[in-house]
Amino acid sequence: MKNVPQNGNGVPESGKHVQPRSPAEMSFNELVATVEMIEANSAWRPDWAPSWSREIVFDRIEAAIKLVQRATGRVGPKGYGSAMPAYLYSQLDLWYQQTQTDEEREKGDFARNRVVRPATTHEIALAEEALEWPKRYVGDENARAALHLWMLSCAVRVPFKKVLHRRGIAQRTGIHRRDRAIALIVYGLVIDGVEVREQ
């Protein structure tokens, strides 16, 4: 792999059509600068390189987590009342239901009849692809662990900073490591020529 000519700040010079050096050799600032150039479609970027960005990677991983939740159910213990028998309506209940307006009835029906749409094969394929990225592209163990904690926070719907606090990780350190992991994924996807697929 060829080295990218650097300017005084350690940032690759634009106008060069060469492949950047290994992300393991880069500092966080160099990696972020490289990814920003990828996102900005800079001149050094090869024509074949797909238009990945950190926002797209965040969205894809988050969508994958939501899809897993939708397909398997929520994370954590079951709520109370799930084993309750079906409610028997009294004559008064039935009379009241007949006196309801259409608008009132629609509100009640919407609350009771929430249909969970099954995932399509395309959505499952995209989710599997996104959930594999940390293992494939994030060689830095600390960055990968921080990304996994962020994914956990999305799954259990707890703020990321709270998850970091419970693990004894400084908020700034955790966010820095997670952002490095996302940047490594963007870098790897572009270098591997992986196409950006619509969700």
Q: Residue 18's pLDDT is what?
A: 47
Residue 154 lies in a domain: yes
Q: Give residue 190's pLDDT band: very low, low, confident or very high (50, 70, 90).
A: confident
Closest CA to 187 of 10, 33, 61: 33
What is the pTM (predicted TM-score) of this model?
0.64
Total domains in the fold of the chain:
1
Residue 156 lies in a domain: yes
Domain residues for the domain of 154 are 54-74+120-192
Any domain includes 183: yes
Between residues 198 and 84, which one has the greater pLDDT?
198
Measured in degrees and rounded to the nearest 5, phi and psi for residue 185 equal -65, -45
What's the mean pLDDT in 149-154? 91
pLDDT digit string (tens) for 37-73?
Answer: 766 664 555 555 567 888 899 999 999 998 888 777 6
Residue type, 161: K
How big is the chain by its Cα radius of gyration, in Å?
24
| DSSP symbol at 75 | S
Q: Is residue 139 part of a domain?
A: yes
